[in-house]
Structure 1
Amino acid sequence: MPIDIEMFESSPEDRLQNGGETNADRVMRFLAGHPDQAFTQSEIRDATDVKAGSISVVLSRLEERGLVRHKGNYWALGEADDVAAYTSMVESTRAANERYGEEDMDEWLEHAVDDEDTE
């Protein structure tokens, strides 16, 4: 499916490679499909096709947000409340993007209030 040139120019490479899905989305979708199991980094990497150099960073960031748990060499889906909040946010964002279009960060920054202007 083609995308417009603005999206091509402004989107990070991983978002364009994965059909709009981030590496974190892919990891969360995989783990959510297996809530009663824990996996090694390499098992998650192989199941999600996240690059070897990225999987550790993705898992660490998800752990910082409470979305995954880590013990020894294994990683599992986070606690139910954190995951439910994340899932709700992702679905709300997708629905808003489909209805109104994705945010353009450059356009948003043009209209953002600078802290120096408020002093």
Structure 2
Amino acid sequence: MSIDRDTFENTSEEELADLSVPDQVLGFLDANEDRAFKAREIASQIGVDEGAVSTALSRLKDRGLVEHKATYWAITDDAERLEGYSGYERATALFNDQLGTEDKEAWREHAPQKPHPSVEDEQ
């Protein structure tokens, strides 16, 4: 799973350590989407064994989530494929763990009672 730049910058190492190696690799590559890296550079940056990173990269490549050229690896530019991998459920679980679950009743108390003008036009 990839993580957005804000999560990458604002999440502690302990919280990120809970992510699988492929998730950590993909998150790192996503945060550095304008660059390509060697496996050992990725391993050094995320603090994971190079062999585990290489295995994760191969599996991510098989899923079409990373690209490989010579000894360099980069995240794919296929946004749909990345969204399909990370998915809404995983993001929701991550944010619920970090911020707590949403209280729908509290949200409803603050929701507008009148529909947005664009919705009124359709009626």
Q: TM-score range by the shorter chain?
A: 0.5 to 0.7
- Say which SS state the counterpart of residue 29 (structure 1) adopts: helix
What is the one-letter code of the residue matched to 1:42? Answer: R
What is the one-letter code of the residue matched to 1:91? Answer: A
Question: Which segments of 5 or more consecutive residues in structure 2 lack a partner in the other structure?
Answer: 1-13, 102-123
Question: Which segments of 5 or more consecutive residues in structure 1 lack a partner in the other structure?
Answer: 1-15, 100-119
Equivalent runs, 1:1-119 vs 2, <5 Å: 19-78=17-76, 79-89=78-88, 90-94=90-94
Shift of 1:96: 7.8
Shift of 1:25: 1.2
Shift of 1:93: 4.9
Q: Give the RMSD, CA atoms, in angstroms.
A: 2.4
TM-score scaled to structure 2, two decimals?
0.57
- Say which SS state the counterpart of residue 19 (structure 2) adopts: coil
Select between 25-34 and 82-91 the one with higher mean Cα deviation.
82-91
Change (3 A) 1:68 1:22: same
Same amino acid, percent of matched pairs:
33
CA distance in 2, matches of 1:59, 1:41: 8
- For these two proteins, the number of residue pairs brought into alignment is 84
Shift of 1:37: 0.9
